[in-house]
Amino acid sequence: MTLPPLLKTLARQAETTASCITDTLTDPPLPDFADGDYGPLSTRWHAQSLSKGAAGVAILHGVHAQAGHGGWEPVHTWLRRATADALNNSTGAGLWFGTPAITHALTTAAPHAHPAALGPLDRAVADLAERRLADAEVRLAARRRPSLSEFDLVRGLTGLGAHLLTRQPEGVLLRRVLQYLVQLKDAVESPTHLTISPDERYVAVLNSDGESALWDRTSGAQIKSAVLAGTEPWPPVVVKLDDFPSFALGLPTSLKLWDPARNVWTDVPLPDVREAPSIMASSPDGHRLAILTYQGVEQRDPATGATNGRTLGNGATHRLLFSPRSDRLAVTFDTSVKLWDVHTGTSIGKPLYNIGTGRSGTADRHNRPALSAVAVSPDLPVVAAAVDDTVELWDVTTGKQVGLPLVNPTGPVRAISFHPDGKFLAMIGDDHAVRVVALEPLRDPIQTVCDHFLPPDPGRLVTVPGQAARDVCS
């Protein structure tokens, strides 16, 4: 095949550049770590990395030698450096690091070689893939969303599968990895709403598939759950019926209420509403239901559907949320939040704009991450807003951010809620674990959390500013 002149020129330039790099990296550098330094951040481990160390350089020399542009001695030199320490085959290992990276480097850089160590390396990679598949099966059984490291190319099963494709293309293990990757397309439920009953007895969680569940906060046991079948309602909200938590679903011209005490569904008409409310929110005291209609944000009585207060604005809206004391309503759109007094129908303080844009690092509003959850403080003019895995606190009086952002260590935050006393903030992510953050210095914040805000999830993780997350309340 004859290359066009331009491609011939680019090919020669690429060969020249590769030769310059390989000439520069003839010998591995001297170790810059102490003999006893085996810490997780030690540069000792760079040797086993395709991106940072000897394993990746060995591949460069190997490909260069296979093309007839260099010898094999540098390949062997860099492979010896990459395997100078015990190979990592634990949690952090993947195609880019550890045993899989070394095996991939060996078979790519020197495909003609068949060292005795190749068999044990293949078995080690297979063992790692088996463990990763077992962990994935546990997650799938729990219907939780995967972390990026579970399936990505660098650390996850995609990378391990790519290696197996070259080593065991007809193997059963590769087939299992491919079946797992196909399962990633299956939808899994994700918590979209978390609320605590005013008497602190119950935690109610709503999932993205419309399933609602009620938990006893003391025992951590699920009390009831229900799914409304045969219809396509708008996202559900939690309401209060006779001081007992319930769930409301918006339908055209009416509400559908699930009463867990009697385990029945009831219809509540919405006069003058022409279509299903696209967004709803209920007040903790059970007296108000805010719904977004073509006229604006209307306040209705959840028991009767009648008007129960002034219309609050008529701008674009993504989310509605009452304060724990039911006297204020937060209206959000994209990356902004506005707070309203539900009794007077007037706005409170300054509108908050560009929440989360500092973390996203962009001034383009179309590329800003939208707010994934919002909560209103029960006693302060403070709004908490979640963007990706970060929760920010904002003062509507000053329009400024309060304190440092709070980060969920396991990924995106799906729902947040203030404790009724305003001293704690709860957040829940894709792993379904409720994490509680103390918002002010306390004599014993951990024990206070255990006494007053026990999460329903078996993994009772609590974080306190300045401290690492730890298991408590067991």
Question: pLDDT band at 207, cuts 50/70/90?
Answer: low
CATH assignment, 320-474: 2.130.10.10
pTM: 0.45
Strand partners, 248: 237, 257
Find the Cα–Cα–Cα–Cα dihedral 202, 206, 211, 212, rounded to 10°. 20
Q: Is the pLDDT of residue 66 over 60?
A: yes
Predicted local confidence at residue 41, as pLDDT: 66
Highest mean pLDDT among 84-98, 263-277, 449-463: 84-98
Place of tokens 């000792």: 44
CB atoms within 10 A of CB 5: 8
Q: Which two tokens stand for residue 95?
A: 């195609």
Give the pLDDT score at 253: 64
pLDDT (0 to 100) of residue 55? 92
Q: What pLDDT score was predicted for residue 310?
A: 82
Question: SS3 sequence, 269-303?
Answer: ECCCCCCCCCCEEECCCCCCEEEEECCEEEEECCC
| Average pLDDT of the residues of the chain | 75
User: In the chain, what percentage of residues exceed pLDDT 70?
Assistant: 69
| Structural domain 194-314, CATH architecture | 7 Propeller (2.130)
Cα gap 446→127, rounded to integer Å: 39
Q: Rounded to the nearest 5 degrees, what angle is found at the Cα of 306, between the Cα atoms of 301 and 311?
A: 80
- Joined tokens for residue 38: 């085996």
CA dihedral (123, 125, 126, 128) in degrees, to 10, reads: 120
Lowest model confidence (mean pLDDT) among 1-15, 67-81, 136-150, 255-269: 255-269
Q: Name the band, by pLDDT with cuts 50, 70 and 90, for residue 359.
A: very low
Residue 79 CB-half CA count within 13 A: 22
128-163 in b/e form (b: 16+ CB < 10 A) is bbeebbeebeebeeeebbbeeebbbeebbbbbbbeb
Residue scoring higher pLDDT (417 or 199): 417
Give the residue, 29 or 190, on which the prediction is more confident.
29
Residue 241 structure tokens: 């019926």
Q: How far apart are CA 234 and CA 248, in angstroms?
A: 10
The per-residue b/e assignment along 175-203, b for 16 or more CB within 10 angstroms, e otherwise, is ebbeebeeeeeeebbbbbbbbbbbeeebb
Nearest to 422 by CA among 386, 444, 452, 401: 452
Q: What's the token pair of residue 139?
A: 């997650």
Residue 255 CB contacts under 8 Å (≥ 6 apart), including other chains:
248, 249, 267, 268, 270, 289, 302, 305
DSSP bridge partners of 339: 330, 348
Question: Is residue 112 scored above 50 in pLDDT?
Answer: yes
- The boundaries of every CATH 2.130.10.10 domain in the chain are 194-314, 320-474
Range of weakest confidence among 71-85, 164-178, 198-212, 412-426: 198-212
pLDDT of 174 reads: 94
